[in-house]
Structure 1
């Protein structure tokens, strides 16, 4: 009986470690590939725009975000989180700090939240998606 229990325990441990390793590798890949482009903040149409970032982490959509960005007088005046597939462990206050930085600086070139670089980049990517829809053509 002890041998069966030990085998089950080892198999469970290997499976958990494998999954954690998989997520760590996918997070590393996502961080390396996720870049936020330069958006011309001088040519934004007023309105409300929806921006999305699909996230991927092995197609698990762990970081998918959907944001609403409001532009008034050519400036971002509000950013609101509409949906996220899996709530982040990052505090709402930290993400509000990131959003406030974007609004204050009128730029996507803001500091990411320490310890939450990938999550910060997913917010920035969703905002970028909305702003690309708001550009004057």
Structure 2
């Protein structure tokens, strides 16, 4: 009988811990899904190299830094210079950066399977481009 009681207490504790964890995860996902991106006029960017960063949201899971190079009136290069994402190799940052360079816009398709991380990376680029606008 005591074994069943202990098992029930353990199951209840795991259920509560799981619910709390899920609640935190859901809050962070909601924030990332609703992350606003400014419409940046790429034709107004001053030449130079700019550092951008995004602090990663409420739990800092998607913190990242990038370097954006503007040359000849266009975004010519974007490099990921730092990321807290342990899965950054699979997040497709360079593919996303190539899309931004190709479109000369932040309004690009995110990486399938890494939508929330893609939005965080786009926010880092945005923060660099805001500096380029004020060049």
- Number of positions where the alignment pairs a residue of Structure 1 with one of Structure 2: 133
TM-score (norm 1): 0.84
Q: Segments of 4+ in structure 1 off by > 6 A?
A: none
CA RMSD in angstroms comes to 2.0
Q: Which residue of the partner structure matches residue 107 of structure 1?
A: 105
Q: Distance in 1 between matches of 2:14 and 2:131?
A: 47
Seen in structure 2, the aligned counterparts of structure 1 residues 20 and 77 have a Cα distance that, compared at 3 Å, is same
Q: Which residue of the partner structure matches residue 62 of structure 2?
A: 63
Residues 39, 131 of structure 1: 8 Å contact kept: yes
Structure 1 residue 89: Cα displacement: 6.2
Q: Distance in 2 between matches of 1:116 and 1:50?
A: 23
1:21 corresponds to 2:27: no
* 5+ long unaligned stretches in structure 2: none
Q: Which SS does the other structure have where 2:109 is aligned?
A: coil
Q: Which SS does the other structure have where 1:38 is aligned?
A: coil
Q: Which residue of the partner structure matches residue 125 of structure 2?
A: 127
